[in-house]
Structure 1
Amino acid sequence: MDENNRNFIMAIVLSIAVLLIWQTFYNGPKTKEREALRQQQEQQNAASAPQADPAAGPAAGPANIPKPAADGGPPRPSPSAAAVPGAAPVPAGMGRKSALAESRRLRIETPKLRGSIALTGARIDDLVMTRYRETVNPDSPAVTLFSPSGSEKPFYSEYGWVGDGTAKLKLPGGNTRWTNMSRSDLKPESPVTLRWDNGEGLVFTRTISVDESYMFTVVQEVRNKTGAAITLFPYALISRHGQPEVESFYILHEGLIGVLGEDGLQEINYDDAVEDKVTSFKNIKGGWLGITDKYWAAVIVPDQQALYQARFTGSVVNRQERYQTDYLGSAIQIP
């Protein structure tokens, strides 16, 4: 056996040894730790589950972003938060097609995407990447990125407002039925405007545009006809239910991610997100945050000129993980 072949065989043996050590001493214990953490979280949730209906109206207290819902539906408000009204729970795991049929929808069509926006709640929760396949077989299904609440693996983005807790305000939430004022599909050449009148002097509009690739722009506006000034905080979130299959490879990050102003790059893997529960950052300016896998990432980008609070959260409910990245913008006074 010549020197080159011997070195080649030694390299293979060493590589296999490294992989076996990695699996035995890191990945295996991590899997057991995650299962134990799931059981612990379920016991804690059962012992401390709030009795209030998550679809209840606003609660007093400082403005905050809703937490991931336990029922696979809309976000559940923090106990002290001014609550974003929730939607009626949708049975989890009903199938993607059935979940999509739960709401009237506005179609999305670009050269690289197809999907829809639910007119109930106005979530972007149905996105298929038409230029990528699940396998190397060209006839395999296109890659599905976003799926609605109620499907087997919900993954979506949501936008809205929360109040400052000083007044009861009827704000748009998961049950809100928006009207498509544009009466057209969402395409790169044709943005759409959604409108909702709360019947109490506030009119909300949301203009959504998309470029020819993968970027959406969401502009929220409020018209105040109540006769009194109000204060609102804009928010946006990305929520994912259920942990996807991960490579567990030490040079590859999969999980929650963001670049948060001067705090820089933040990476929290799926296991650590559940263990840490909440990781928060305040007074951030610039940057972005989201959730990433090996090949795909979904991120939200706040107003780059305004201060915001950012948060990464993880929990386990009914043996299913809940992950969320969100931001809460600065207070806006609307005369």
Structure 2
Amino acid sequence: MDNRNLLLAVVLSGLLILGWDVGLRYFYPEAAMSGQATPPSAAQTAAATQSRGGSGTATLGPDAAAAAAAPRKVDLTAALSGGNRVAIDTPRLAGSINLVGARIDDIELKDYRETVKKDSGPVRLFAPEGTPNQYFAEFGFVSGGVRQPSTTLWQADGAKLTPASPVTLTHTDAAGTTYRIRFAVDANYMITATQSVSNTGGNAAIVQPFALIKRTDRTATIDQFASHSGPVGVFGGTLWDPHSYAELAELGADKGEGKPDWLGFVDQYWLAALVPGDGKGNVNVDDAGFRSLGGGLFRTDLLYSATTVPAGGSLSQETRLYAGAKESEVLDAYEASGITRFGLAISWGWFWFFEKPILWLLRTLNGLAGNFGVAIILLTVVIRGLMFPIAQKGFASMAAMKAVQPKMKEIQERFKDDKQRQQQEIMKLYKDENVNPLSGCLPMLIQIPVFFALYKVLLLSIDMRHEPFILWIRDLSAPDPAHILNLFGLLPYTVPAGFLAIGPLAVLLGITMWLTFRLNPTAMDPVQKQVFAIMPWMLMFVMAPFAAGLLLYWITSNILTVAQQSYLYSRHPQLKAANAAAAAAEAKKT
């Protein structure tokens, strides 16, 4: 029977390991999986339209000129060298505005490299339409119910957009209505577009400013439980981020409830978002939401309500575009300036009140140590130190419970036929011995949100991106590069990380996890023993593809757990002796 159970445990563990990649993509689907999605059906589109405000709500339909043109593939270098561009140059951004269509389709982040190599170029966030990684923002107008085509050529009053020199684009239509888009940019990642209309014609004009962000999902990061990637926004003061790209492709279109405070697309480290007006929902819009365009393309729309501009009249509407890194201090500063809950572009979750202080401490330790890996180790030590009194109390409670176990068994045997009396006598025993059976569980429950918050900080923080540790670990945000598939770095090529990419950090994780289980000799049946014997090595495979920084945290935490348990068992030898005796009795019995 024991051999059969052992074989069953081994088979189940093997199936879990082999199915890990499949399961990961099922529960945390890669955005690229939706790249083969077909355009939504008429029924899906109708249902989505109804959910977004009913058939009477105006929506920003497709650009007629773009819809008529066949999909085209464009080379990035050719697209950016074609002229008709206004350069963007700020302390943190580089790129250009395309005068054809008033599109911001060229954005690079100066402070971040694509890879850890020193000669790697900066991270490219935006790219022109038709390029493999297309991702851009467009500003324009709907006049008389007709959207201005994306082929409209605008005239600029300057050659370069900087924090000190705004640029205004101008276009006049055949009816004599002049449209202007004034772009201004700050020293971080925020571009302000002020769209205005001057009606110099003889008739009134009905005008709706609009803004949109369009992107491909091929450059999107994985949508995870702990880190959302996909459409995101705040509507009516409430965060809305329920869908991955694959789910949005199935729905066709969706949005949050209430007026938009801001909306856009988020990746693990990057954000592109539109902020209408003051960012507090004080705007009148006909449409603000998200839609799938098919072929792995997605769009977020912001269409303001129609305004009648009389002859000689004008209107003006401000929209901000955030295009940059998810730096918590920068996002929080914009939130403090008035954008509702802008800091929630980072998926903090329920335990944000733990996570933000932990992030501050991590940055402080990194500043002192000068090495992010050392900072992770120090942070884990500090957190464990703060949690130690709670763990000590839990162990003391366990020791007290073990001390009264013989008396409990005696009561259970004496009143085995009278359960009510048995419970009364056990409660009286707890009271007489001053023992609380829940006090051992409560410390563990208190520690769970703290350590989960520490895990999320390491997962979400852009501070860990491309940070080195020691020797072969040059990027703590990436999996261990030295693993069995490339002979621990000896082979001159890289292999995609997976459950077989067992590197030194994964091996250390398995060993330290095994030690924590060995140091806790609780009584258990043979099947439990076999499962616990296998589990550390199973976790070694499962966690191998995780970021090196997360593995470093887990290894440090396991080592501290072993040290903590050794010390506490030395303080409560009766607990260890009782556990060992119970284990021996169980082994003899089976």
> What TM-score do the two structures reach when normalised by structure 1?
0.74
2: CA distance between counterparts of 1:126 and 1:268? 27
Q: 1:282 touches 1:310 (CA, 8 Å); kept in 2?
A: no
Report what 2:273 is aligned to: 299
Report what 1:115 is aligned to: 95
Report what 2:245 is aligned to: 270
Q: Shift of residue 197 of structure 1?
A: 1.1
- Figure out how many residues of one structure are paired with residues of the other and give that number: 282
Q: 1:257 touches 1:291 (CA, 8 Å); kept in 2?
A: yes
Give the 5 Å matches for 1:1-335.
23-25=21-23, 27-28=25-26, 38=36, 41=38, 63-66=58-61, 76-77=62-63, 86=66, 89=69, 92-163=72-143, 165=145, 172-181=148-157, 183-281=158-256, 284=259, 286-304=260-278, 305-308=282-285, 309-316=287-294, 320-335=295-310
Change in 2 beyond 3 A, CA 1:302/1:36: closer
1: CA distance between counterparts of 2:301 and 2:255? 10
2: CA distance between counterparts of 1:111 and 1:310? 31
1: CA distance between counterparts of 2:199 and 2:190? 30
Change in 2 beyond 3 A, CA 1:108/1:27: same
* Structure 1 portions without partners, runs of 5+: 1-14, 46-60, 67-75, 78-82
C-alpha RMSD of matched pairs (Å): 3.3
Q: 1:90 touches 1:150 (CA, 8 Å); kept in 2?
A: no
Say which SS state the counterpart of residue 264 (structure 1) adopts: strand
Q: 1:283 touches 1:307 (CA, 8 Å); kept in 2?
A: no
- Larger of the two Rg values belongs to structure: 2
Say which SS state the counterpart of residue 206 (structure 1) adopts: strand
Instruction: Give me the identity figure in percent.
Output: 32
Amino acid at match of 2:103: R
Amino acid at match of 2:179: F
Report what 1:50 is aligned to: none
Q: Shift of residue 109 of structure 1?
A: 0.5
For residues 249-289 of structure 1, give each alpha carbon's deviation from its aligned partner in whole angstroms, at most 9, with x where no partner exists: 321100111111245333421111111111145751x5100
Say which SS state the counterpart of residue 272 (structure 1) adopts: helix
Q: Shift of residue 32 of structure 1?
A: 11
Change in 2 beyond 3 A, CA 1:269/1:134: same
1: CA distance between counterparts of 2:181 and 2:31? 43
Change in 2 beyond 3 A, CA 1:33/1:203: closer
Q: 1:289 touches 1:299 (CA, 8 Å); kept in 2?
A: yes
Say which SS state the counterpart of residue 97 (structure 1) adopts: helix
For residues 36-59 of structure 1, give each alpha carbon's deviation from its aligned partner in whole angstroms, at most 9, with x where no partner exists: 9936x26969xxxxxxxxxxxxxx
Say which SS state the counterpart of residue 250 (structure 2) adopts: helix
* Structure 2 portions without partners, runs of 5+: 1-12, 43-55, 311-590
1: CA distance between counterparts of 2:156 and 2:31? 47
1: CA distance between counterparts of 2:142 and 2:40? 30
Q: 1:87 touches 1:173 (CA, 8 Å); kept in 2?
A: no
2: CA distance between counterparts of 1:175 and 1:315? 19
Q: 1:230 touches 1:334 (CA, 8 Å); kept in 2?
A: yes
Q: 1:87 touches 1:175 (CA, 8 Å); kept in 2?
A: no
Structure having greater relative contact order (Cα 8 Å, sep ≥ 6): 1
**Which protein has the bigger strand share?**
1
Q: 2:231 touches 2:290 (CA, 8 Å); kept in 1?
A: yes
1: CA distance between counterparts of 2:39 and 2:303? 28
2: CA distance between counterparts of 1:43 and 1:288? 25
> What TM-score do the two structures reach when normalised by structure 2?
0.43
Change in 2 beyond 3 A, CA 1:307/1:292: same
Say which SS state the counterpart of residue 160 (structure 2) adopts: coil
Change in 2 beyond 3 A, CA 1:19/1:272: farther
**Which protein has the bigger helix share?**
2
